Amino acid sequence: MSMKPSGPQSWTPDADSGISIDFVEAGELTFEVAQAGEGDHLALCLHGFPELHFSWRHQMPMLADMGYRVWAPNLRGYGGTSRPEGVREYAMDKLTGDVAALIEASGAKKVTLFAHDWGAIIAWAYAITRGHTLERLVIMNVPHPQVAMREIKHWRQLKKSWYIYFFQLPWVPEAFLGRNGGKTAGRLIEKTSCRPELFGPEVQAIYNGAAMRPGARTAMVNYYRALLRHRGTLDMSDFKVEVPTLMLWGEEDVALNIHCTEGTEEWVPDFELKRFPGISHWVQQDAPDAVNAKLKEWLPGA
């Protein structure tokens, strides 16, 4: 069921963008969802940390023009979406369940999943366990789980993953994200991008404002806490992804080394990789034109 917004929004799209914000009841939660386009083929876009549905602002109009009905939800705990309490509520079975609930709520006949960062971690798990419900999968700057497990055993990746262990601490990560008057989330993205001019004060303010909502920073960090504390909530023993998959990768990723793109074909037989030199982890925001061009080339259209 879709409802008009009843509370403050994290982002107010431009009137000429074709994007609207609605609140959608799916499963046990209410999701704040940016929407564009019409049709029976859903393009479901999952954002990462510390982002929002706003991170898909450059792709949504293009996908709608291609004939997709585009939904970019704020994930649980983010923006105006429901914020369950407790680390267990952010384990992988809950997160993939949200994807299934959103798809069911959409009523779509076909689904293509687009995902970045934490959204891509969820999308890999969903494709492994429920891939039969997808037409295609687009992953941005996150390795397949088996590749991630291989890489974390090497110093080249372990040294980049220090923040995962920092986020296990009580209250300290929340304090870190709330410092400087709540400007940390936006600055984190801007400082680690390759095109900081694209992440000016207005863009940063959207991310900062969402992160400073009551309980939001704890929810955001709980994804990382649950990743280590509640493993095994989802049976991914096979690890195969049978749907056609495109991986887009900004090569200047501060969190993930370039070897994370290697060996994916062992687990994803129908796989294509597109690397973007000089582009950061925030690939679809850092290089929107190049990303959109590749999506147009690879997607069949709705």
- Cβ(124)–Cβ(247) under 8 Å? no
State residue 214 phi and psi, 5-degree precision. -55, 125
CA 88 centroid distance within chain: 19
Strands 271-280 and 245-252, by their bridges, are: parallel
Q: Is 154 a catalytic residue?
A: no
Closest to 28 measured CA to CA, from 119, 87, 98: 98
Q: Is 224 a catalytic residue?
A: yes
Please pick, among 98, 117, 253, 286, the residue that the annotation labels catalytic.
117
Please pick, among 224, 230, 253, 286, the residue that the annotation labels catalytic.
224
Closest to 225 measured CA to CA, from 115, 139, 118: 118
Q: Is 116 a catalytic residue?
A: no
User: SS3 string of 204-236?
Assistant: HHHHHHHHCCCCHHHHHHHHHHHHHHCCCCCCC
Which residues belong to the active site? 117, 224, 281
